[in-house]
Amino acid sequence: MRKKKEPSLWSAEAEVQVQFFDLDPMEIVWHGNYVKYLEVVRCALLDKIDYNYGQMRDSGYMWPIIEMNLRYAASASFGQRLLLRAEIVEWESRLRIDYTVSDAATGKRLNRATTTQVAVDLETREMCFASPPILFEKLGVPAP
């Protein structure tokens, strides 16, 4: 069994229970609903660094997701408790977050995912090619 990864300063966890409305006709979680689970833990992570969507907007930026990759290893079913984990792994020119979705009881990995977000200036609607200083401030690291 894999050793549990040490928590990062820029990581968060959340737990959800699979609801009936998340299932497909095969009685497993429909693949598209994993995106919703990623959003749950991404918001927990952004709250942890005090830079969730409201703070992003107030700082003059929006951070749309420009890329998402999900890799499914096993399916989840009704009533199952899922442990969601997100960690910021890149921040200098984009915000890349890695995710793991696991069975909360056994630790068995069900899904791995990544999202990539970029800063867009709210006033000009232009993409920034470097992350703005506010992100470095929220992460507690010096800006380049």
144 residues of the chain, pLDDT tens digit each: 334 555 578 999 999 999 999 999 999 999 999 999 999 999 999 999 999 999 999 999 999 999 999 999 999 999 999 999 999 999 999 999 999 999 999 999 999 999 999 999 999 999 999 999 999 999 999 988
Q: What is the pLDDT of residue 2?
A: 36
Amino acid found at 14: A
Q: Which CATH architecture has domain 11-139?
A: Roll (3.10)
pTM summary value: 0.92
Per-domain residue ranges of the chain? 11-139
**Cα angle 12-13-15, degrees, rounded to a multiple of 5:** 155
Q: What is the pLDDT of residue 7?
A: 59
Q: What is the pLDDT of residue 8?
A: 74
Q: Write the CB contacts of 54 (distance below 8 Å, at least 6 apart in sequence).
A: none
Q: What is the pLDDT of residue 3?
A: 44
Amino acid found at 38: L
